[in-house]
Structure 1
Amino acid sequence: MDARVNAHVERRTLLRAAVIGGSAAVFGGTLWRGAAHAAPAQPGTGPYGALAAPNANGIRLPAGFTSRVIARSGQTVTGTSYTWHNAPDGGACYADGTGWIYVSNSEINPSGGASAVRFSSTGTITSAYRILSGTRQNCAGGQTPWNTWLSCEEVSLGYVYETDPWGTSAAVQRPAMGRFKHEAAAVDPVRQVVYLTEDETNGRLYRFVPTTWGNLSSGTLQVLVAGTATSGSYTWTTIPDPDGSPTTTRTQVSGSKSFNGGEGCYYADDKVWFTTKGDNRVWQLNLLTNTYELAYDDSLVTSGTAPLTGVDNITGTSSGDLFVAEDGGNMEICVITPDDVIAPFLRIDGQSGSEITGPAFSPNGSRLYFSSQRGTSGSSSGGITYEVTGPFRS
């Protein structure tokens, strides 16, 4: 083991020990400012202003922001010999000394898996490599406080795989987290659980309670139980058979709440936000009060045209802003502010046969990574992964 790898292992061991010991002060590299999001967001003027004309990459951005192409499916990543995967999907960023790493899933079946791109402190690409192989239709996932990536299979009886963004340790299948059509995961270091979405028209919202925090090899899978309304209180009930066979996990618990096409999932500040594509909603769970409500619903927009349609992946920043990517719509990433204003942050022109996936911020919050899954071709082999740099508020 060389010095760089040894330092990486030591860093991960120290962080893991802190997390297992109950420290939850830092998650994702920033501290979260208390966010409101108390009512369904309405269109308004966003914090970054109007979108400019499309740049050379076909991306409309606010003033002060620039973009570059990081990788293209089927082509070698600049400065490396690694060929980027098809259909790039969910992603996350990890601090790597003075640089960082962006990981990205591949939503193809078979083969799937995930890859990573490593950056220096100046943003120069220094390497790219595979971190997960031999899986199926890896859609979204989630980042853990102990610096692993949870890659989720969006297939019937799919698994969660825990992977190493540095590519040093082999990926590990986590069957205790349930077998269903997994979409995204969000880790809550305060309650020491993992929230999981299910991409079915009658999907459920789950949480996994590990036997030992920081170790996902065993634990209890639970499902959210609530009424049929769009707001109210909820409880959690244990799933009797997490393997989902012969009875699917979503039909095992009477009274569990149905969600129409679970997609992205994000945790911060004692809240979980998740999206449902079937009804174009962003939901919010308040984990302190055990209540849920709508953070956005296009059918509840009271004036003008709903700016966000085809809700998909979701992430956030230390300022309390949520960034939601569109699957379809007009290929935008929209921002929802803590005062419940929603506005486009960027738009990709000329790629109507694609979807935006994998939004994730660099550890210092100055760069946003995401992909156009099918690019200009409309095919999984045409994926493009981008970086946007600019004055994101912190």
Structure 2
Amino acid sequence: MAVTRRQMLAGSGAAIVLSGAVDRLFAGTAEAAQAGGRSGYGPLVPDPAGVLDLPRGFRYTILSREGEPLRSGEGPVPSHFDGMAAFRSDGGRVRLVRNHENRVTAKYRVPAIERVTYDPQGLGGCTALEVTSGGRVLSERVAIAGTAVNCAGGPTPWGAWLTCEETEDRAGTNGYTRDHGFIFEVDPRGRRTDPEPLTAMGRFQHEAIAVDPRTGTVYETEDAFDKPFGLFYRFLPKRPRGGFGTLQAGGRLEALRVPGVPDLSAIQEPGTVFEHVEWVKVPDPLAAQTPVRLQDFGKGGITHAQKLEGCYWGGDRVYFVSSFARSRDGSAADHFGQVWSYEPSRRRLTLHVVFGPDTDVQAPGDSPDNICLAPQGGLMLCEDGDGAQHVFGVTRRGTVYPMARNRQNIGTDQAPAWGEFAGVTFSPDGRTMFVNVYEPGTTFAITGPW
């Protein structure tokens, strides 16, 4: 197997610097006080157990693996670990809510627990774990079931997890008894979860969300691989103060229009700014006849982008990621990842970083996916591409460094393969990084000299 520059980076601990307005990616975080916030934590040390390589001084604990019994006794731990968030619990404990991106072929479904099941034929959903500060799992249970292809989502200011279905399958398709393609609200404590979709937030291939804590506006990404590509949305709730169940009151769904830019991949210069972008009402959020991205948005059309995935709020703006764009798929231009931001107060859209091919196709790896702010300063992003799979850190100065490498080979000795990382998140006290491996489904708690 050929050694790529990405693998050389991971093995040597060398750092590379990205071009673009990278410092803005970390709005709202404290200045880094540790070495990791400046240049990384050093080279990855091969794990003798062949599970997870980390820098010296760091250690991992495996919290959960697919197929093992749920501690609740509800069945086996479901497959395909994806998006995740950490919430504060009592006594320094942490509650994790974890997505399971299960399709009809999943080996282990999310058990269809009656009280929290939307569609008995939906194999996806979420599980919830409570973990001590020392990494001991106290509980693990089904949080919501009967959904499908739960990819990412995001936390809310009122302590809920919004889980997103990355599908548009209707009732009668793949055996489903109800329509799919929605967002659902999940209570990490298990008290208020209602297995009914937030229909006003749209029915499409959802990926991730981020909430403006000042206004309650919810921003949503759409992960569409094929043309016509996905849109970037905002949802203006009728009850913007937020709280469990308030999103069920409805609101207005709108899509981003950048006048004169039908495809964001055409923009290749980091630092490009668009002033006074527009938001256009979605004609039919439920996509009763036509998928949202194909609907008629009137004069000027709408702005698309391939593979819109990660989404987070920082400071005074929302950031969102396009994992890649390929002209052979119909994109206007090629890239290996973009990071954009939108400032609501100025209606301003900014392109911060473009990864390859004119910068470096291996930096940071390829196809950035789930993404989070690190409390020590900087950014963590999950790689979802070919070859070796990493969690990469990006400092305020734009230095990219490897933080973890998945060593669980799901291929063969002759043709090795590794599952992607997903769901990277930090404990509320910033002392533990939690992250999933998609396949084989594995949740890690990583501690060390953050």
Whether the TM-score (by the shorter chain) exceeds 0.5 is: yes
Q: Indicate if the aligned counterparts of 1:272 and 1:285 stay in contact, CA closer than 8 A.
A: yes
Q: Relative to structure 1, is the Cα distance of residues 303 and 149 closer, same or farther in structure 2, using a 3 angstrom cutoff?
A: closer
Larger proportion of strand: 1
Partner of 1:357: 422
Corresponding residue SS for 1:113: strand
Partner of 2:286: 243
Distance 1:187 1:57 in 2: 38
Q: Indicate if the aligned counterparts of 1:93 and 1:362 stay in contact, CA closer than 8 A.
A: yes
Q: Is 2:247 the partner of 1:216?
A: yes
Q: Indicate if the aligned counterparts of 1:181 and 1:199 stay in contact, CA closer than 8 A.
A: yes
Q: Per-residue displacement from partner, 1:322-361 (whole Å, max 9, x unpaired)?
A: 2110113421011122222222221112432411111111
Q: Is 2:273 the partner of 1:232?
A: yes
**Shift in Å, 1:192:** 2.0
Q: Indicate if the aligned counterparts of 2:340 and 2:353 stay in contact, CA closer than 8 A.
A: no
What amino acid does structure 1 have at the position aligned with 2:52?
Answer: I
Distance 2:234 2:284 in 1: 14
Partner of 1:342: 400
Q: Relative to structure 1, is the Cα distance of residues 103 and 166 closer, same or farther in structure 2, using a 3 angstrom cutoff?
A: same
Q: Is 2:337 the partner of 1:281?
A: yes
Corresponding residue SS for 2:247: strand
State the TM-score, normalized to the length of structure 2.
0.72
Corresponding residue SS for 1:67: strand
Partner of 1:261: 307
Partner of 1:369: 434
2:365 to 308, 321, 329: 308
Distance 1:61 1:137 in 2: 30
Corresponding residue SS for 1:347: strand
Q: Per-residue displacement from partner, 1:288-333 (whole Å, max 9, x unpaired)?
A: 4433333332215646942321221111123441211011342101
Q: Indicate if the aligned counterparts of 1:48 and 1:345 stay in contact, CA closer than 8 A.
A: yes
Q: Relative to structure 1, is the Cα distance of residues 132 and 355 closer, same or farther in structure 2, using a 3 angstrom cutoff?
A: same
Q: Per-residue displacement from partner, 1:343-382 (whole Å, max 9, x unpaired)?
A: 222111243241111111111111111111112xxxxxxx
**Shift in Å, 1:169:** 2.3
Corresponding residue SS for 1:189: coil
Partner of 1:32: 28
**Shift in Å, 1:276:** 1.8
Distance 1:68 1:107 in 2: 23
State the TM-score, normalized to the length of structure 1.
0.82
Q: Relative to structure 1, is the Cα distance of residues 68 and 57 closer, same or farther in structure 2, using a 3 angstrom cutoff?
A: farther
What amino acid does structure 2 have at the position aligned with 1:275?
Answer: V
Q: Per-residue displacement from partner, 1:57-116 (whole Å, max 9, x unpaired)?
A: 521211221111111111025x66453211111000000112110110111123101001
Q: Per-residue displacement from partner, 1:277-298 (whole Å, max 9, x unpaired)?
A: 2323232214144333333322
Distance 1:67 1:55 in 2: 13
Aligned-residue CA RMSD (Å): 2.4
Distance 2:349 2:400 in 1: 19
Q: Indicate if the aligned counterparts of 1:34 and 1:269 stay in contact, CA closer than 8 A.
A: no
Q: Indicate if the aligned counterparts of 2:220 and 2:232 stay in contact, CA closer than 8 A.
A: yes
What amino acid does structure 1 have at the position aligned with 2:94?
Answer: W
Q: Indicate if the aligned counterparts of 1:107 and 1:136 stay in contact, CA closer than 8 A.
A: yes
Distance 1:356 1:212 in 2: 35
Corresponding residue SS for 1:147: coil
Distance 1:220 1:203 in 2: 18
Q: Is 2:222 the partner of 1:166?
A: no
2:203 to 176, 179, 182: 179
What amino acid does structure 1 have at the position aligned with 2:436?
Answer: S
1:328 to 385, 392, 396: 385
Q: Indicate if the aligned counterparts of 1:328 and 1:353 stay in contact, CA closer than 8 A.
A: no
Q: Indicate if the aligned counterparts of 2:94 and 2:133 stay in contact, CA closer than 8 A.
A: yes
Q: Indicate if the aligned counterparts of 1:32 and 1:318 stay in contact, CA closer than 8 A.
A: no
Distance 1:291 1:308 in 2: 29
Q: Relative to structure 1, is the Cα distance of residues 154 and 335 closer, same or farther in structure 2, using a 3 angstrom cutoff?
A: same
What amino acid does structure 2 have at the position aligned with 1:345?
Answer: M
Corresponding residue SS for 2:293: helix
Q: Indicate if the aligned counterparts of 2:221 and 2:231 stay in contact, CA closer than 8 A.
A: yes
- Structure whose CA Rg is larger: 2
Structure-to-structure mapping, 1:122-161, within 5 angstroms: 122-156=134-168, 158-161=181-184
Identical pairs, percent:
32
Partner of 2:21: none
Distance 1:303 1:173 in 2: 41
Q: Which runs of 5+ in 1 are unaligned?
A: 1-30, 36-43, 376-382
Q: Per-residue displacement from partner, 1:243-292 (whole Å, max 9, x unpaired)?
A: 12212212332432111011111111112222222323232214144333
Partner of 2:67: 74
Corresponding residue SS for 1:299: coil
1:194 to 218, 225, 238: 218
Q: Stretches of 4+ moved more than 6 A in 1?
A: none
Q: Indicate if the aligned counterparts of 2:324 and 2:338 stay in contact, CA closer than 8 A.
A: no
